[in-house]
Structure 1
Amino acid sequence: MRYRVLGRTGLQVSVIGFGGIPIQRVSAAEAGLIVHKALDLGINFFDTARGYTDSEAKLGSVLRQRRNEAIIATKSMARTAGDMASDIRTSLKAMGVEYIDLYQMHNIKHKAALEKVLSPGGALDALQQAKEAGLIGHIGVTGHIKEFLLEILRIPEIETVQFPFNPVESNGVRELLDLSGQTETGVIIMKPLAGGAFSNAGLALRFVLEHPVSTVIPGMDSLKQLEENVKAGLDPLPLSAQERRALDEESGRLGTVFCRRCEYCRPCRQGIDIPSVFLLDGYYRRYNLQEWARERYHGLKATADQCVGCSECEERCPYNLPIREMLAEASGRLA
């Protein structure tokens, strides 16, 4: 396994990390085998979240046994200091550890959220206090809107940034990577396989690793997936012309129907969070997390069946997606 430095944290992380979403759908015993094997194969970076049901507990059951071999990252949607402090305590208890290497503010996607976490009494206050107390080592942010993340990269307290990047979701990435290099911010890449849309995981992972990123965190819930993904962390060779053509062809096919979560479709007059609907539908179809996706879908303020077909979202979509049709299909599955 190759390793890279996670920005100014100084942490040496495996270029292939472990994304903690899919581990929710396997048993605790199966999860234990997978996580032990990941460590054995050289993976040392594990990412999870408070919102991933029992993911923290499943990862923690192994990682606390081999604590010196693992760099643990988790995250919370908390926006206030009180809520964040509570979530940090809950994460420590769920994982059974005394220290978390990286704690991230999860899915900061608009100005109001950023202002709230940065204001006095905001989530960043709690993270800094936890860092001073030795409960966490470093502070990061995750998000999907690359234009907005450019603002976050200029905040000195933020040591890492996590965002999606794959062959069909690359708009704005060069600017983000350039600025992260200037600020020495660690770069964690989520959704490297476009939510499991790419059939050749190895090519997609190697594509991302050709760029100056710190670690790539595909989700894994089987030993087969694990072993396939690890191979990309062993191969230092760039993609061949033939491999690049194969990846370009698959990217072209996905590009006509794939939501990149750019959020240009928002706001919806009916209050539908269109990117979130498609994200949950992706978890339903690709991750086999039907119950998890449905539960969160029904927790949305407005569901896809409330679409009135006004087409305003389609007019704003830079990818010309048939959003009304896609919402109807998602509603049929998630409702």
Structure 2
Amino acid sequence: MIYRKFGNTELKVSALGFGAGEIGDYGLPDSQVDKLLNTVLDLGINLIDTARGYYASEERIGKFISHRRKEFILSTKVGYRIAGYNDWSYEIILAGIDEALRIMKTDYIDIVHLHSCPTETLQRGDVVDALLEAKAKGKFRLAAYSGENEALKFAIRSGKFDSIMTSVNICDQHSLRNYIPLAKENHLGVIAKRPIANAPWRFSERPFGNYAEEYWLRWKEMNLPFNEDLLEIFLRFTVFEEGIDSAIIGTTNINHLKKNIEIIEKGPLDQNRIKQIKSSYNENWFSLT
């Protein structure tokens, strides 16, 4: 496994992180999730990213790998969905962090993100103040923002955050070009989400209403003449782009997990392929929210 220094921190993250959204599905057997999460750690992936909104995800992390807490960097997201609190309030940030600590059976979290809140919420200041207050109390190590576009730019420039998470893939290069260089100038850690663009190549026709629809439309417009394994091309592109510390990808299949690791062990794509990918990208596209 490749490990990288995470921004201006003492943490070293695996270049491939585990996105724990899919394990939040209550329909998945506990036994399958138990084996999967422990295999993630056994294979050397040390960044696990979850969120308040990922249903059973935080609960299962606490249930199945809290006994291995020192082996991984734990990232979650807060700001919403707690009964009795208003979303994006000072109080819900504090409550969300306490709930995450309780549910994941840990006395600290490594990274806590504000989860895609709009620019005006960040500008208001109270949710950021709450985040920093909890950090000062030692409840977590790094204050982070997960999101896109103008809100992401505001977060980076505010000087209040230690790291960011944003979309980076072949079909979504806006943050890669506009905000990640700024984040690195400010010594922030950078996590890339959606590294394979929700796998648009799965669909032979436009997937109306599917989360991958916009990426599918972009992929078709880019018209790249690739005949190789597209999963490999997408994943290697994102993982090895300058400024990316780790790219998170989710799966519920251990064989897919192992294949993802084998892919990144091949290293970056050749420069001609990268140039082709970047030149086909439409500068007028923005990151998907």
TM range (shorter): 0.7 to 0.9
Q: Does the aligned pair in 1 maintain the 2:18–2:248 contact within 8 Å?
A: yes
2:99 to 72, 90, 95: 90
Q: Does the aligned pair in 2 maintain the 1:56–1:95 contact within 8 Å?
A: yes
Q: Does the aligned pair in 2 maintain the 1:153–1:180 contact within 8 Å?
A: yes
1:111 aligns with 2:116: no
Q: Does the aligned pair in 2 maintain the 1:75–1:106 contact within 8 Å?
A: yes
Q: 1:76: how far off?
A: 1.1
Q: Which amino acid aligns with 2:71?
A: E
Question: Which protein is richer in helix relative to its size?
Answer: 1
Q: How does 1:286-297 map to 2 (within 5 A)?
A: none
Q: Does the aligned pair in 2 maintain the 1:198–1:204 contact within 8 Å?
A: no
- Distance in 2 (CA, whole Å) between partners of 1:243 and 1:32 is 38
Tell me which stretches of 4 or more aligned residues in structure 1 moved more than 4 Å.
Answer: 241-245, 260-263
Aligned to 1:12: 12
Identity %: 27
Q: How does 1:176-325 map to 2 (within 5 A)?
A: 176-198=179-201, 200-211=230-241, 212-236=243-267, 238-240=268-270, 262=287
1:72 to 67, 71, 74: 74
Q: Which amino acid aligns with 1:28?
A: D
1:226-279, CA deviations, whole angstroms, 9 ceiling, x for partnerless residues? 11111234233x21479769x95xxx8xx99xxx7757xxxxxxxxxxx6xxxx
Q: Does the aligned pair in 1 maintain the 2:163–2:189 contact within 8 Å?
A: yes
- Distance in 1 (CA, whole Å) between partners of 2:181 and 2:265 is 25
> Secondary structure of 1:98's partner?
coil
Q: 1:141: how far off?
A: 0.3
Q: 1:167: how far off?
A: 0.3
Aligned to 1:321: none
- Distance in 2 (CA, whole Å) between partners of 1:18 and 1:172 is 21
1:130 aligns with 2:139: no
Q: Does the aligned pair in 2 maintain the 1:201–1:228 contact within 8 Å?
A: no
Q: Does the aligned pair in 2 maintain the 1:6–1:12 contact within 8 Å?
A: yes
Where in structure 1 are there 5+ consecutive unaligned residues? Answer: 264-274, 276-335
> Secondary structure of 2:158's partner?
coil
> Secondary structure of 1:154's partner?
helix
**Distance change >3 Å, CA 159–CA 89, structure 1 → 2:** same
Q: Structure 1 length normalisation: TM-score? A: 0.68
- Which of 1 and 2 has higher RCO (CA within 8 Å, sep 6+)? 2
Q: Which amino acid aligns with 2:192?
A: I
RMSD of the alignment, in Å? 2.4
Q: Structure 2 length normalisation: TM-score? A: 0.79
Q: 1:156: how far off?
A: 1.8
**Which of the two has higher C-alpha Rg?**
1
Q: Does the aligned pair in 2 maintain the 1:21–1:219 contact within 8 Å?
A: yes
Q: 1:203: how far off?
A: 2.0
